[in-house]
Amino acid sequence: MTPDSFAFLAGLVKARSGIVLTADKGYMLETRLGPLLRREGLPGLDALALRLRAPRAEALTAELVEALTTNESSFFRDGKPFEHLKRLLPRLAAARPPGQPLRIWSAACSSGQEAYSVAMVAAELGAALGGRRVEILGTDLSREMLDRAQDGLFSQFEVQRGLPVQMLVKHFRQEGSRWRVSAELRAMVRWQAFNLLDDARGLGRFDVIFCRNVLIYFDAPTKSRVLGMLAGMVAADGVVYLGGAETVLGLTDRLMPAAGERGAYEPARSAAKAD
Ligand SMILES: C[S@@+](CC[C@H](N)C(=O)[O-])C[C@H]1O[C@@H](n2cnc3c(N)ncnc32)[C@H](O)[C@@H]1O
């Protein structure tokens, strides 16, 4: 691949998703885009770049971006945020006016394990939420991942990563060699395609936002922009959870680390007032 083709493809991916491809990612492009090249009958990445420069390449561009997302996820990933959520939800439920559901957003939800983990926490809390309804929204750029998430069908390997066996037995049904999330949990989650680079105000406000393990792929200005947007969408007493390798430090002063809680961030007082 010529440096010009690489720069073009990387520029396109960055503009469409925020994902930064550094110069050392040439090999990754070759391996991840191999199936797309074969299907399109293209001899290599230079030919793909040429095809994408032509008009009406929208669908192919979307496929390029999807192929370059990293979709790694697991149930109850990193543990701690879900422990924190277990303590947070009853407090938020008690603070809300009657009839108002708790709204939780799993932004960049990938194949759905994060949103279903949240649903399990809420289901397990049961009476501790005083009958309060919990609405979970799972969004991602990747339609393929959203389809998987909506299906709620996971392999033995996937359910063995992070999911306690009693939760598996209680909230999943075996289908052949795979496991389907129960209808009750699936009814708690709604799935929607959403790009974090887009204006999210139409999604409404949330009591809790999970935006984990996606900012790591963005550059600092994009991280700042997304974090600022999340700060404007979370309730003043709500929480934003980020991934273990992610932080707000140096990126926004509208979210502050929650004292003693790794990965949990609260809106700064001034941010809450500004909204
Ligand atoms: C590594 S997964 C994280 C999944 C989950 N949040 C977790 O922590 O386990 C990153 C996800 O971010 C999505 N993604 C990447 N760029 C995005 C963007 N601009 N808008 C929305 N989702 C994006 C990818 O499609 C991928 O599914």
Q: Please name the residue whose Cα sits nearest to atom 3 of ligand 1.
A: 213
Whether ligand 1 lies within 6 angstroms of the CB of 195 is answered as: yes
- pLDDT value of position 201: 87
Task: Provide the residue type at 240 as one letter.
Answer: V
Whether residue 13 has its Cβ less than 6 Å from ligand 1: no
Candidate of 69, 137, 241 to mutate for ligand 1, largest count of ligand atoms within 8 Å of Cβ: 69
Binned at pLDDT 50, 70 and 90, residue 275 comes out as very low
Ligand 1 centroid, distance to 127 Cα (angstroms): 32
Query: What's the rounded Cα separation, in Å, for the pair 75 and 159?
Result: 7
Per the prediction, the chain carries an average pLDDT of 95
Tell whether the model's pLDDT for residue 88 goes beyond 80. Answer: yes
Going by C-beta distance under 8 Å and a sequence separation of 6 or more, which residues neighbour residue 134? 89, 101, 102, 104, 119, 122, 188
CA angle 181–209–98, rounded 5-degree value: 85
Distance 202 CA to ligand 1 centre (A): 19
* Per-residue CA distances from 259 to 66, 87, 241 (Å): 36, 14, 13
Q: In this structure, what token pair is assigned to residue 243? A: 């991934």
Query: pLDDT tier at 270 (50, 70, 90 boundaries)?
Result: low
81 lines ligand 1 (CB under 6 A): no
Tens-place pLDDT, residues 62-75: 999 999 999 999 99
- How close is the Cα of 72 to the center of ligand 1, in Å? 9
Alpha-carbon distance values, 58 to 12, 44, 54, 55 (Å): 11, 19, 10, 8
Q: Ligand 1, closest atom to CA 210?
A: 6
Describe the strand order of the beta sheet including 264-267 as a list of residue ranges: 189-193, 134-140, 102-107, 206-211, 234-242, 264-267, 255-257
For each of the domains in the chain, give its residue range(s) and CATH number, in order of start: 3-67 (1.10.155), 80-274 (3.40.50.150)
The two structure tokens encoding residue 28: 């990754």
Residue 196 Cβ inside 6 Å of ligand 1? The answer reads yes
C-alpha torsion sign, points 120, 233, 146, 13: negative
Q: What is the pLDDT of residue 173?
A: 98
Predicted confidence band of residue 273 (pLDDT cuts 50, 70, 90)? very low
- Cα(21) to ligand 1 centroid in Å equals 15
Mutational test site, ligand 1, from 110, 116, 189, max ligand atoms within 8 Å of CB:
110
* Model confidence pLDDT, tens digit, residues 173-199: 999 999 999 999 999 999 999 999 999
* Closest-CA residue to 163 (of 79, 72, 263): 79
Residue 163: closest CA among 183, 139, 179, 140: 179
Paired with 193 in beta bridges are 140
Q: What pLDDT, in 10s, does the model give residues 91-146?
A: 999 999 999 999 999 999 999 999 999 999 999 999 999 999 999 999 999 999 99
Closest ligand 1 atom, CA of 16? Answer: 19
Q: Residue 112 has what DSSP assignment? A: T
User: How many other CB atoms sit within 10 Å of the CB of residue 25?
Assistant: 17
